[in-house]
Amino acid sequence: MARILIVEDETRISDFLDRGLRAAGYATSVASDGETGLHLALAGDVDLVVLDLGLPDRDGLDVLRDLRGSGSDVPVIVLTARGGVRDTVTGLTTGATDYVVKPFHFAELEARVALRLAEARRPGSGSVRAWRRISATASAA
């Protein structure tokens, strides 16, 4: 059973995600702030992270940066109210595997979770690895 970590401070949304993902057959855990989320993601017992950006203690993008900086390849789907093109691009270049804007449809999020988990299971073809190649190329240039 795939394990999903939900990092979200709004209880209404985290409860909704928690119930929906459990009903879809996933094991879930919830963190309501960035530091706890980062700690749990780095503890390694997680197959995918759903990450809010507007967190009470630190910005979700900083959490994402620290996660990638620590060498974690775990797929991260950013789930945020920040819906501008620039926000999406920043999220993706910071290391998000996918980016979903609130308000969202659960069916879409669920489809993306399934897709990103399937990708992560295919060795050498995950989008995080692709992102690492892009970052390495960008920093070598």
Q: Which residues bind Ca ion (CB under 5 A)?
A: 9, 52, 54
- C-beta of 131: minimal distance to Ca ion in Å? 24
Closer residue to Ca ion, CB minimum distance, 52 or 98? 52
- Give the residue closest to Ca ion by C-beta: 54
- C-beta of 10: minimal distance to Ca ion in Å? 5
CA dihedral for 81, 84, 90, 91, sign (positive or negative): positive
Closer residue to Ca ion, CB minimum distance, 9 or 62? 9
Residue 4 and residue 45 in contact, taking contact as beta carbons nearer than 8 Å: no
Say how far apart CA 105 and CA 138 lie, in whole Å: 34
Say how far apart CA 6 and CA 16 lie, in whole Å: 11
- C-beta of 8: minimal distance to Ca ion in Å? 6
Chain centroid offset of residue 103 CA? 16
Closer residue to Ca ion, CB minimum distance, 100 or 128? 100
Closer residue to Ca ion, CB minimum distance, 47 or 52? 52
Helix (H) or strand (E) holding 51: strand 48-51
- C-beta of 94: minimal distance to Ca ion in Å? 17
Q: Tokens at residue 131, please?
A: 């992102």
Residue closest to 95 by CA, chosen among 54, 124, 67: 67
